[in-house]
């Protein structure tokens, strides 16, 4: 097995690392604390073509492989995980439109999304339905050449910038099983009845907006039905989330790597009892544990990405990577704070932001508890094989 990166992937990693060091790190602490939207960073990412990561080349995108996508999200998250969120749901939605959209939908949306002229996200979660997507209550009633959409969505990243916004709805609420009546509509946010009601206050993951949305009798053209056929929505969303979990795992690797880097650097600078604290065995053990965890999470994430690139079903692999990497990020953030002692608790150092950002990866894109069940069912059924 080849665990190395290609020349192109190494160049991408180096380019992203320089970009993060020059454009993100210098402003991350101040902008994150103030809640300022990083519009200048988003514009710079558009200049690099990053909004077209998963858009086919014929529509102006990069058509990047999944390992390259993981590299991009890891490097950005090392500097400021919140900024990665601007690209995350956008890339997931672009992949879904490219994979399932009609030719007309792809032509209408993908070129502008690839350039960053427009952005997008995805509206799945509701106040009463998170991990249980079949439990959503948002409905789309057919009325001639339109659907009339009514419902509420929450925890929606890029809600104020998404155009269009793919929204998971029930086109047939009476369908059994429920997924047979679920569809995705590409909603124009300028349509009457579509309202972003508020930005949710968050512990971490600052930078992108995360909002609640109300859809009150929103009339959406039938031509905005993703793929043109009803009843395919949950299938489309779950396939996209498989890719999204690689993105989340890569973000977690970036947070974990940054926690390790900061702990290693501080241990080599801080003195106590007449010597550098890196000379104390307790600190050495923490650094060693962090190194093991970070590299294992990275390899698992790249393995899942490589499986997806090979065209293989990767729900097991992406689930394993997301669960392990997200928990590694949380563990490394805590250990980095312990290495820093009281300074790790101070906003003057970047460790406390890592500590606040890390829990999101455990919760988002399918909670780890849900994913453990998914992983176990895959193993028990024989669909997934380890070893």
* Contact present, 234 and 182 (Cβ < 8 Å): yes
- According to the model, what pLDDT value does residue 1 have? 56
Catalytic annotation, pick one of 242, 258, 352, 365? 365
Q: CA–CA separation, 117 vs 139, rounded Å?
A: 30
Q: What is the pLDDT of residues 357-369, one digit of tens each?
A: 999 999 988 899 9
Among 4-13, 79-88, 229-238, 311-320, name the one with the lowest average pLDDT: 311-320
- According to the model, what pLDDT value does residue 234 have? 97
Which residues are CB-neighbours of 245 under 8 A, at least 6 positions away?
Answer: 304, 318, 319, 321, 322, 365, 366, 371
- According to the model, what pLDDT value does residue 2 have? 67
Nearest to 226 by CA among 356, 339, 94, 128: 94
Q: What is the pLDDT of residues 37-58, one digit of tens each?
A: 999 999 999 999 999 999 999 9
**pTM for the whole thing?**
0.96
Arithmetic mean of pLDDT, 46-72: 97
Q: Give Cα separations from 105 to 44, 108, 112, 187, 243 (angstroms).
A: 27, 5, 12, 12, 21
- Neighbouring C-beta atoms of residue 149, cutoff 10 Å: 23
Q: H or E stretch including 148? A: strand 146-157
Say if residue 15's pLDDT is above 90.
yes
- According to the model, what pLDDT value does residue 53 have? 97
- According to the model, what pLDDT value does residue 31 have? 96
Distance from CA of residue 10 to its chain's centroid? 22
- According to the model, what pLDDT value does residue 386 have? 79
Arithmetic mean of pLDDT, 56-62: 98
Arithmetic mean of pLDDT, 175-181: 96
Q: Domains of the chain by range and CATH?
A: 7-115 (1.10.540.10), 133-231 (2.40.110.10), 235-381 (1.20.140.10)
Q: CA–CA separation, 326 vs 77, rounded Å?
A: 13
Q: Is 365 an active-site residue?
A: yes
Sheet holding 165-170, edge to edge: 182-187, 165-170, 139-143, 146-157, 210-221, 194-199
* Contact present, 109 and 164 (Cβ < 8 Å): yes
Say if residue 385's pLDDT is above 80.
no
Say if residue 3's pLDDT is above 80.
no
Q: CA–CA separation, 344 vs 338, rounded Å?
A: 7
- The mean pLDDT value of the chain amounts to 96
pLDDT band for position 4 (cuts 50, 70, 90): confident
**In the structure encoding, which two tokens stand for residue 329, read together?**
């990020």
The more confidently predicted of residues 226 and 348 is 226
Q: What is the pLDDT of residues 200-246, one digit of tens each?
A: 999 999 999 999 999 999 999 999 999 999 999 999 999 999 999 99
Arithmetic mean of pLDDT, 62-67: 97
């Amino acid at each position: 097995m080849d665990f190395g990166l290609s020349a192109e992937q190494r160049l991408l990693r180096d380019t992203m690392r320089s970009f993060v060091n020059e454009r993100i790190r210098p402003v991350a602490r101040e902008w994150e604390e103030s809640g300022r939207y990083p519009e200048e960073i988003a514009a710079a990412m558009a200049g690099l073509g990053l909004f077209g990561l998963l858009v086919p080349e014929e529509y102006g995108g990069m058509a990047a492989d999944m390992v390259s996508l993981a590299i991009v999200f890891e490097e950005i998250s090392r500097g400021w995980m919140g900024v990665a969120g601007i690209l995350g749901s956008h890339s997931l939605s672009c992949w879904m439109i490219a994979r399932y959209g009609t030719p007309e939908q792809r032509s209408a949306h993908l070129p502008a999304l690839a350039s960053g002229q427009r952005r997008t996200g995805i509206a799945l979660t509701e106040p009463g339905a998170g991990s249980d997507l079949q439990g959503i209550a948002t409905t789309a009633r057919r009325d001639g050449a339109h659907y009339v959409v009514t419902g509420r969505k929450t925890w929606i990243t890029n809600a104020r910038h998404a155009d269009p916004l793919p929204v998971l709805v029930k086109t047939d609420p009476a369908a059994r099983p429920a997924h047979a009546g679920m569809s995705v509509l590409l909603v124009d946010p300028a349509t009457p009845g579509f309202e972003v009601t508020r930005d949710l206050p968050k512990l971490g993951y600052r930078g992108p907006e995360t909002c609640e949305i109300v859809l009150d009798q929103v009339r959406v053209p039938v031509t905005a039905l993703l793929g043109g056929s009803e009843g395919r929505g949950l299938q489309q969303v779950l396939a996209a989330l498989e890719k999204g979990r690689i993105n989340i795992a890569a973000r977690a690797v970036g947070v974990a790597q940054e926690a390790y880097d900061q702990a290693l650097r501080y241990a080599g600078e801080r003195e106590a009892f007449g010597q550098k604290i890196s000379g104390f065995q307790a600190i050495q053990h923490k650094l060693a544990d962090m190194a093991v965890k970070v590299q294992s999470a990275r390899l698992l994430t790249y393995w899942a990405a490589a499986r997806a690139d090979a065209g293989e079903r990767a729900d097991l692999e992406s689930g394993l990577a997301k669960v392990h990497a997200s928990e590694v990020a949380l563990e490394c953030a805590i250990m980095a704070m312990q290495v820093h002692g009281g300074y790790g608790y101070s906003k003057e150092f970047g460790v406390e932001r890592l500590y606040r950002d890390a829990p999101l990866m455990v919760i988002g894109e399918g909670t780890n508890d849900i994913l453990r069940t998914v992983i176990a069912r895959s193993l028990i059924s024989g669909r997934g094989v380890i070893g």
